[in-house]
Amino acid sequence: MDADLDIPLAGTSNLRDLGRVLGLPRGPDSAYRVLRSANLDNLAPAGRRGFEALGIAVVIDLRGVAEAAAAPTLPGTERVHLPIEPTVVAELRRHRAAGTLSAAAAVGVMEATYRDYVVDHAAVFAEVLHRVLSAKRRPVLFHCAAGKDRTGLAAALILTAIGAESSAIMTDYLLSNRLYRPTATTATDLPDEVRAAIGSVRPSFLEAAYAAMSEGWGGPVAYLEAALGIGARERDALREAFTPDD
């Protein structure tokens, strides 16, 4: 199944279409609608040609300012930068300085980070969902650095908004463990077991985000409505973005 979901593109990885994860048909025009990936900074010439063939109208970059400094210009595509600054490595280095660094501590940092995404960056995720809405069925791709954490939560919120089953949401989320191909990391000073913990995704990470939605807003649908401005009308419109052309 993973091979069917993976969209190969030279110079990046973790690229897939959310509709295909849900098992939805692509329609006679074979158009992708809403895609997610790792960053696009190192697209090879063949990758750029492949990107053009996807017909992406809007690229949403969720990386921090410095992370996104080398973002490429992709002709014919609108780039939207909605920065969520990275904090994980800095927090892990604080643990190291305090003598508390371990793989378990790294897992705890990741879970806390996902909670912070929900609480502190609602405006960013609201903009992501509204950008998908405003694209009016034109293909949209969103990404961060690895396409697994900030991107993973954005994907989960979109899938929640269109009424996907929780099992399908988790399936998409965990696919990053198979489809992401790591590149050189800036955290080479951290122990291997710590880098392994933050270089993958775990159910507990996403579960921490949903727990924050329940604790602060009463649940994910209430979070969508109150924090992101995605009510019933917007959810219906988002479903249309996943509907293939006749």
102 pLDDT higher than 70: yes
Residues whose CB falls within 8 Å of the CB of residue 104, separated by 6 or more in sequence, listed in order: none
3 pLDDT higher than 80: no
**Rounded to 10 degrees, what is the CA torsion of 229, 233, 239, 244?**
-130
Q: pLDDT of 14-41, one tens digit each?
A: 999 998 877 776 554 456 789 999 999 9
The residue ranges of DSSP E strands in 13-136, in sequence order, are 16-17, 34-37, 58-61, 78-81
Rounded to whole angstroms, the Cα distance separating 120 from 80 reads: 19
**pLDDT at position 21, please?**
79
Q: How confident is the model at residue 130 (pLDDT cuts 50, 70, 90)?
A: very high
Q: Which two tokens stand for residue 116?
A: 């912070």
Kindly state the average pLDDT of the residues 106-111.
98
Q: How confident is the model at residue 242 (pLDDT cuts 50, 70, 90)?
A: confident
**pLDDT at position 118, please?**
98
**pLDDT at position 25, please?**
62
Rounded to whole angstroms, the Cα distance separating 129 from 142 reads: 10
Residue 60 CB: number of other CB atoms within 10 A?
Answer: 23
Q: Whole-model pTM?
A: 0.94
Strands 34-37 and 16-17: antiparallel
**pLDDT at position 231, please?**
98
Vertex 187: Cα angle to 181 and 192 (nearest 5): 75
Rounded to whole angstroms, the Cα distance separating 212 from 245 reads: 37
Rounded to whole angstroms, the Cα distance separating 81 from 79 reads: 6
**pLDDT at position 26, please?**
59
128 pLDDT higher than 80: yes
Kindly state the average pLDDT of the residues 79-106.
97
Angstrom CA distances, 70 to 39, 77, 182, 233, stand at 10, 16, 18, 37
Q: How confident is the model at residue 227 (pLDDT cuts 50, 70, 90)?
A: very high
**pLDDT at position 182, please?**
86
**pLDDT at position 2, please?**
54
Kindly state the average pLDDT of the residues 46-50.
95
56 pLDDT higher than 50: yes
**Rounded to 10 degrees, what is the CA torsion of 185, 190, 196, 202?**
-100
243 pLDDT higher than 80: no
Q: How confident is the model at residue 1 (pLDDT cuts 50, 70, 90)?
A: very low
For the segment(s) 2-241, the CATH number from 2.60.120.10, 3.40.50.1950, 3.90.190.10, 1.20.1440.230 is: 3.90.190.10
